[in-house]
Amino acid sequence: MNRLLKSVVSGLVRTGDLTVTGPKGISVHFGDGSGQHVHVVIRSRHAELGIALDPSLALPEAYMDGDLDIVEGDIFELLRIAYQNMGPAGVEAVWARAIEGLRYGLRRLHQMNNAARSRANVHSHYDLSGELYRLFLDTDMQYSCAYFERPDMTLEEAQDAKKRHIAAKLRMSPRLDVLDIGSGWGGLGLYLARHFDASVLGVTLSTEQHAVSSQRAQAERLDNHVHFELRDYRDLQERFDRIVSVGMFEHVGVNHFQTFFDKAASLLKPDGVMLLHSIGRTGRPVATNAFIRKYIFPGGYIPAMSEILPAVERSGLVVTDVEVLRLHYAETLKHWRERFLANRDKAKALYDERFCRMWEFYLAASEASFRWQDLVVFQIQLTKSNAVLPMTRDYIAEAEHRLRDDAENNRPRERSAQSGEEADQPPKRPRSPLPAAKASQARTPK
């Protein structure tokens, strides 16, 4: 086994039960023997040296290429040993820290996400076949962190709870104009239209997601209520009662945080409410993981709270509530990983073995990062005035309770509003659907 790699692994792995077999067939054991045994076989000297010098990129590449195999345990258990020994702050060799320092210094260059580059970045991930995502997502195709009100929830139940939680924080009432920035596969926009008779504009840069979400709106006969458009949020001019953005801010890039919040402020009505749902980190700002940036989310960046709030303050928006969802995404990713592995042969038929190994590593590493590193989910509620929302958070739980009751009784919120259950909400106003000119403009890809 390469002496450099042996030195690195022995310095890292104090607990756990890890065996590494090098290209020459020599095996070395690391750790105190606790936990599940993991046996890794490295099949090439090139991979062995690369993992020693730059593990964050070389290890997943070796796994993708078949130069590294797990013969006992799996890739998730290997990452468990690594991350539990590293701790949230991470412990790396001096040269690895230097490489990460260089990547951090170059992060603004990597995140120059103008309109054209943003479309290309989105295409590389979100324009993969919708059939792939159906293999591991819930039935509503929610590709973001679920909300586990109870630990025994199914993925479908937890994703429904997430939508209720967001609607409650938006303080939804009937017939509002809603903007969904990064509308994904359409589930949230359709939920708000279905339960609140909302007029929803969902914008995305993904042609695959746009096609699927538009088909879903037509199938549910909600296409007069929900318009999904291929548009960059920076090109919008309309104003909205509510703005929601789930899982999109991670693709904005640190260079464009101010643009994002300035634009949101210009699109939000004076009495409006916005909710931002984004992956974040509890630690200091760091560079995007090299594997994630190269193979999964080019141009992506997970911000620290210290990078978000200054841009919010300068935009004139008011932070009215912040919630940090801890471990919810780890549980979500566990469900996704298990479902993907159960459907691995179908994924391989869509793509190939290398893609499947890449996707396995992505899901396993993401779950491990939310369990043992510093990744969380931020839900940040924003308004333009302190007086827009009630003084206490009781309204959130009350709204969730009503929506949960409606779901159990299979009735949309609009119907229960007619029976007086929405008496504490602002009164209905005349519906303001998208004008024909606006709808026509919205359907023109930017």
pLDDT of res. 146: 98
Q: Which of 241-255, 341-355, 385-399, 418-432 has the lowest mean pLDDT?
A: 418-432
Beta bridge partners of 378: 278, 324
Pick the last residue of a domain from 105, 131, 164.
105
Q: Is the pLDDT of residue 106 over 60?
A: no
Give the pTM. Answer: 0.87
pLDDT number for residue 384:
97
Contact 35, 16 (CB under 8 A): yes
How confident is the model over 199-233, as pLDDT tens digits?
A: 999 999 999 999 999 999 999 999 999 999 999 99
Identify any residues that bridge with 40 across adjacent strands, giving them in sequence order: 20, 70
d(CA 83, CA 422): 47
> Are 240 and 267 spatial neighbours (Cβ–Cβ below 8 Å)?
yes
Residue finishing a domain among 105, 133, 150: 105
**Domain for residue 341, yes or no?**
no
In a domain, 333, yes or no: no
Q: Is residue 113 part of a domain?
A: no
pLDDT at position 444: 35
DSSP string, 74-119: -HHHHHHHHHHHH-TT----HHHHHHHHHHHHTHHHHT---HHHHH
Q: Is the pLDDT of residue 63 over 80?
A: yes
- In the 8-state DSSP scheme, what is residue 443? T
Residue 215: inside a domain, yes or no?
yes
Would you state the structure tokens that stand for residue 405, as one six-digit string?
A: 């009751």
Residue 83 sits in the same domain as residue 190: no
Structural domain includes residue 261: yes
In a domain, 357, yes or no: no
Residue 125's pLDDT is: 79
Of the pLDDT bands very low, low, confident and very high (cuts 50, 70, 90), residue 126 is confident
| pLDDT of the residue at 375 | 97
Q: How do residues 139-196 score in pLDDT, each as one tens digit?
A: 999 999 999 999 999 999 999 999 999 999 999 999 999 999 999 999 999 999 999 9
Domains identified in the chain, total number: 2
Contact between 123 and 116 under an 8 Å Cβ cutoff? The reply is no
Please indicate, yes or no, whether residues 222 and 247 belong to a single structural domain of this protein. yes
| pLDDT for position 424 | 45
Same domain? For 91 and 128 the reply is: no
Is residue 263 located within the same domain as residue 236? yes
CA distances to 37, 73, 290, 366 from 343, rounded to whole Å, are 25, 19, 27, 19
Contact 409, 401 (CB under 8 A): no
Query: How much is the pLDDT for 98?
Result: 55
Lowest mean pLDDT among 78-87, 96-105, 129-138: 96-105
pLDDT at residue 117 greater than cutoff 70: no
71 in a domain, yes or no? Answer: yes
The residue type of 113 is N
pLDDT at 341: 98
Show the domain range for 51.
3-105
Residue 394 confidence class, pLDDT cut points 50, 70, 90: very high
- Considering the domain architecture, whether residues 239 and 143 belong to the same structural domain is answered as yes
Phi-psi region of 29 (alpha: psi -120 to 50; beta: other; left: phi over 0): beta
CB contact at 8 A, 264 and 315: yes
Query: Are 288 and 216 part of one and the same domain?
Result: yes
pLDDT for 113? 66
Runs of H (alpha helix) within 297-352: 305-315, 328-342, 344-350
The CATH number that applies at residue 15 is 3.30.1050
What is the C-alpha separation between 271 and 239, in angstroms, rounded?
11
Judgement on whether residues 88 and 153 belong to the same structural domain of the protein: no
Shared domain for 274 and 140, answered yes or no, is: yes
**Would you say residue 345 lies in a domain?**
no
Q: How far apart are CA 398 and CA 392, in angstroms?
A: 12
CA–CA distance, 184 with 148 (Å, rounded to integer): 21
Q: Rounded mean pLDDT of 236-251?
A: 96
What is the tens place of the pLDDT at every residue in 282-310?
999 988 888 998 999 888 899 999 999 99
Position 136 pLDDT exceeds 50: yes
Asked if 88 and 283 count as a contact pair (C-beta separation under 8 A), the reply is yes
State the CATH number of the domain containing residue 196: 3.40.50.150
H or E, element range at 272: strand 268-281
Looking at the structure, do residues 309 and 393 belong to the same domain, yes or no?
yes
The pLDDT, as a whole number, for residue 86 is: 84
Task: Give first-to-last CA distance, the chain, whole Å.
Answer: 54
Query: Of 298, 296, 322, nearest to 308 (Cα)?
Result: 322
Is residue 98 domain-shared with residue 168, that is, in the same domain?
Answer: no
Under 8 Å between Cβ of 48 and 5: yes
Say how far apart CA 134 and CA 138 lie, in whole Å: 7
| pLDDT for res 30 | 96
Which letter does DSSP use for residue 304 in this model? B
Is 48 in the same domain as 136?
no
Q: What residue type is 442 in one-letter code? A: A
> In terms of domains, do 95 and 200 share one?
no
